[in-house]
C-alpha cells in the first residue's frame, strides 16, 4: 500500500504515506468550493510532475558526476472546464548559476526530465510546457 487517505469533511483530506508516516493535507481550491488553504488534488498532480522531473534529472546527473543541488523548479497549473480537468502544466527548471556543464549533458538532462514517469502517466491531452534555464 502506498498511502491511506482520511476524508475529514469540508472537502479536506489527510493522506498518510505508509512507509514514512508523513502526512500531506489537501483542500479543494477556492474556485471549486474549497478554502484553498492546502494543496488541491490537482495541485498535487502538478507538483508530482515537477518533483518527478527534477528527481529523475538528479539521478541521471549523479550518474554523470553532476550535482544539481539548489536547482529551482516552478510549476503552474492551468484548468479547463466541461469536464473540469488540468489542461496545461508549465514547468520552469532553473539551474544554479555556478553549474557548468556542456551542451551534450544539458540535452541528456532535459530529455531525462521530459521523460519522467509522471509525464508518461499523464493523459496525452494535458499540455506540458517545460523550460530549462541554465
For residues 57 and 121, membership in a common domain is answered with yes
Q: Calculate mean pLDDT across residues 79-98.
A: 97
For residues 45 and 5, membership in a common domain is answered with no
Single pTM value for the model: 0.95
pLDDT single digits (tens) 55-73: 999 999 999 999 999 999 9
For residues 61 and 3, membership in a common domain is answered with no
**Cα 121 versus chain centre, distance:** 12
Report how many domains make up the chain.
2
Answer for the pair 74, 91: CB distance below 8 angstroms, yes or no: yes
Which residue from 23, 24, 28 is spatially nearest to 40, judged by alpha carbons? 28
Q: How far is 93 from 130, CA to CA, in rounded Å?
A: 8
- What letter would DSSP give residue 34? S
Domain that holds residue 70: 40-133
**Cα 20 versus chain centre, distance:** 20
The grid coordinates listed for 9 are: 469533511
For residues 35 and 49, membership in a common domain is answered with no
For residues 115 and 63, membership in a common domain is answered with yes
Amino acid at each position: 500500500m502506498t498511502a491511506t487517505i482520511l476524508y475529514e469533511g469540508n472537502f479536506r483530506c489527510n493522506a498518510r504515506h505508509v512507509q514514512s508516516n508523513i502526512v500531506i493535507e489537501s483542500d479543494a481550491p477556492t474556485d471549486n468550493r474549497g478554502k484553498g488553504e492546502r494543496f488541491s488534488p490537482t495541485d498535487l498532480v502538478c507538483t508530482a510532475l515537477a518533483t518527478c522531473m527534477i528527481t529523475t534529472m538528479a539521478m541521471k546527473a549523479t550518474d554523470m558526476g553532476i550535482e544539481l543541488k539548489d536547482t529551482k523548479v516552478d510549476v503552474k497549473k492551468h484548468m479547463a472546464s466541461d469536464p473540469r480537468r488540468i489542461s496545461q502544466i508549465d514547468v520552469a527548471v532553473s539551474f544554479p548559476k555556478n553549474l557548468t556543464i556542456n551542451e551534450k549533458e544539458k540535452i541528456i538532462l532535459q530529455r531525462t526530465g521530459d521523460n519522467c514517469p509522471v509525464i508518461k502517466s499523464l493523459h496525452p491531452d494535458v499540455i506540458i510546457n517545460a523550460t530549462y534555464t541554465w
